[in-house]
Structure 1
Amino acid sequence: MSTNHHSVELAVESAATPAPFYRSVGDEADVFRAAARRGLPVLLKGPTGCGKTRFVEAMAHELGRELITVAGHEDMTSADLVGRFLLKGGETIWVDGPLSRAVRQGAICYLDEIVEARQDTTVVIHPLADHRRELPVDRLGTTLSAAPGFQLVISYNPGYQSILKNIKESTRQRFVAIELDFPPADIEVEVVAHEAGIDRRTAGALVRLGNAIRGLQGSPLREASSTRMLILAGGLIAEGLPVRSAVQAAIVRALSDDPDIVRALGELADGVLDVT
C-alpha cells in the first residue's frame, strides 16, 4: 500500500479567520470573482514569492469559501489528490483526498505549483475543469459531481517551465488565466511594512534592494528577490537584528550558494541600503 499521502501538504482556510492582507495590482480580483460566480477554474501564473497563494487566500475569505491547499511535488500521484483505501483498526476504509473533499464540500481547491506533479497526475483534474465538473473515482467505481461553490485553482511559475515541466495545452485551455507579478514599489512597501511589522522607511529600503536585484542584467540567479524574501528580512529586523545581518540571512545567502555571487549581492545590498 502506498504511503505517499503523508507527503501531501494541506492547509484549510476558514471564513471565520481574519481577512488575509492582499493589495490588488490590476484586475485580478475582478477576474477571480467573475470566474467564481461561474464556477470556472483559474490558472495563476507568476514568479515564486509574488503573492499567488496569498491572493487565493484573500479571495476565498472574501467569497466565504473553504480553501483546501495542496502543495505540488514530483512524487504526487492521482491517489494523493483523489483518495485511497487505508487499513485502519483492522479494516480497510476509503479516505478522501483533498480534491475529493473539496468537490464534495463545495470548497476551493488550490493546487500550488502544479507543474511539480507528474503530468499523468494532472489529467485527473480535466473533467473538473470543463463543463462536466465531475471527478471520476475509479477505485470506488463512481463519479463525484462538484457541489455548488466548488472551484479549482492551480498555479505555476513560468520561469521554471521546461520541456519536462510544463502545463499541457489540453490542461491550460480549460482555465481562466491570471498573471501575477511583483507589485509596484508603493504597494510592495505597504505589504512588506504590514507583514513584517516594520516602518515604511525600512520597508522602502528593502523594496529598493529587491528591485535592484531583479533589475540585474545577465543575472545568474534562478530566482529574483521575492516579496516573500523582503518580508522575511523585515521580520528579522523587527526582531532587532541589524539590517545588514537580516538582509544577508534572508536575501543574499538565500539566493545563491556561489561565493562570488553571494559577495556581489552583498556589495549591492550594502550600496543600496547604505550599510557599511
Structure 2
Amino acid sequence: MNVVIERGRRGRPFYASVSTEEAVFKAAYRQGLSIALKGPTGCGKTRFVEAMAHDLDRPLITVACHDDLTAADLVGRYLLRGGATEWVDGPLTRAVREGAICYLDEVVEARQDTTVVLHPLADHRRSLPIERLGITVDAAPGFGLVVSYNPGYQSVLKDLKDSTRQRMVAIEFEYPAPDVEGAIIVAEAGVPESCAAELVRLGQAIRRLETGGLREVASTRVLIAAARLMVDGVAPRIAARAAIVGPLTDDPAVSRGLVGMIEVYLSETTPPEND
C-alpha cells in the first residue's frame, strides 16, 4: 500500500482554479461532508487536494488504492514486534484520530467490500468502528474524507456503490481550458509561453482522437513531463515521444500516428525565453 503523509505549512502547491471547485470543497469540508473528485487521469485532482489541505492548514494522508487493498490496510491490524503482538493504526484511522484529511486516490480500484468501511465516516455519524479492537473512534475536529476516481476509465464493475456515492459531495474535473493549461505548464516546467501553447494544442488534438489503441488521452501531467524534459535540453519532438507517446500507447500504428502529430504541432527546437 502506497501511503504519503504531508504535514506542515510549506509553500502552497501550485493549483490554477478552473471554476467553483475551491469554494465547494472548502464549504463541504467546513460542513463535515465527504467529497468525491471525479475526472480524467492527470487533470489535477491530487494537486487540488494538496492545495486545499494547505489552505485549510490540515495534514494530508494520501492512499493510492489498488485491487489488493483491504479494510485492514486502511483501518489497522495486529503486528508482531519484538516478540509481542501490537495494534498498528492504518492511514484512515490515523487521519480520524489526528483530524487530518484522508485522500483515497482512485478509490474504485479498491474492492467494494473495503470501501464499505467508509460509510459511517461519510455520513452524519463521523465515526470509524474498529471491530478488531471492539471500539468506535469518533473523528477528531478537522478530519476530512476525500476520494477520487475516473468515471470515464473504470469499467462498470469498478464503480462506487450507490450507498457510498450518496454520502459524498461530488466535484467534477475536466482538463483545463487552453489558456489555463498553458499557464500551468509554464508554472510547473518553466518553458516559454509559446512552447507551452504548442504542447496544449498537441494535447487537445490527441484528446480529439477516436482510436482503441490509446490507453489514455494526453493529460496535463504528460504535457508537463514533456515540458520538463525540454527545459533540461531535450529537443521538443524527442521529449514528446518520451513523455507522451510512450506512456499513452504500445500500439506501433498508433505510435506512428502520434509521432506524425508531434511533427505537425511541435517545433524542432525549444524557443528562447523571450520568444
Normalising by the smaller structure, the TM-score range is: over 0.9
Other-structure match for 2:240: 247
Aligned amino acid, residue 241 of structure 1:
V
Counterpart of 1:24 in structure 2 is 17
Contact 2:213 2:249 survives alignment (8 Å): no
Give 1:200's aligned amino acid: E
Corresponding position: 1:81 with 2:58 = no
- Structure 1 position 199, deviation (Å): 1.4
- Name segments (4+ residues, structure 1) moved above 4 Å: none
Q: Partner of 1:14 in structure 2? A: 7
Scaled by the length of structure 2, the TM-score of the pair is: 0.95
Preserved contact between residue 236 and residue 267 of structure 2 (Cα < 8 Å)? no
Q: Which of 94, 105, 112 is residue 119 of structure 1 equivalent to? A: 112
SS of corresponding position for 2:239: helix
Aligned: 1:194 with 2:187: yes
Deviation at 1:73, TM superposition (A): 0.4
Q: Percent identity?
A: 61
Structure 2 SS opposite 1:177 = strand
Output the amino acid matched with 1:72: C
Aligned-partner residue type, residue 174 of structure 1: R
Q: What is the 5 A alignment of 1:77-226?
A: 77-218=70-211, 220-226=213-219
What amino acid maps onto 1:176 in structure 2? V
The equivalent of 2:273 in structure 1 is none
Please state whether the residue corresponding to 1:136 is helix, strand or coil.
strand
Over residues 161-184 of structure 1, what are the superposed CA-to-partner deviations in whole Å (9 max), with x where a residue is unaligned?
323111110000000000011100
Query: Aligned equivalents of 1:195 and 1:10: distance in 2?
Result: 24
Alpha-carbon distance between aligned partners in 2 of 1:275 and 1:239, rounded to the nearest angstrom: 15
Residue by residue, what CA displacement relative to the aligned partner does 1:134-180 show, whole Å, maximum 9, x if unpaired? 10100001000000110100000011232311111000000000001
Residue number in structure 2 paired with 1:3 = none
The question of 1:43 aligning with 2:36 is answered: yes
1:219 to partner: Cα distance: 5.7
Higher normalized helix content (fraction of residues) = 1
Task: Summarize deviations over 1:224-250 as a string: whole Å, max 9, x none.
Answer: 100000010011001100111100000
CA deviation after TM superposition for structure 1 residue 14, in Å: 2.2
Shift of 1:218: 4.7
Shift of 1:113: 0.1
Deviates more, 1:189-198 or 1:90-99: 189-198
2:259 matched residue in structure 1: 266
Q: In the aligned structure 2, how far is the partner of 1:139 from the partner of 1:81?
A: 13
Aligned partners of 1:40 and 1:188: how far apart in 2? 29
56, 61, 78: which one aligns with 1:68: 61
Query: How many pairs were matched up?
Result: 269
Unaligned runs of 5+ in 1: 1-7
1:186-237: per-residue Cα shift (whole Å, max 9, x none)? 1101111111121111111111110110112456423110000001001100
Which residue of the partner structure matches residue 5 of structure 1? none
Q: For the residues of structure 1 that align with 2:261 and 2:117, how far apart are their CA atoms?
A: 46
Identify the range of structure 1 (263-272 vs 160-169) with the bigger mean alpha-carbon deviation.
160-169
Which of 168-177 and 188-197 deviates more? 188-197
Runs of 5+ consecutive residues of structure 2 not aligned to the other structure: 270-275
In 2: Cα distance, 1:226 partner to 1:115 partner: 20
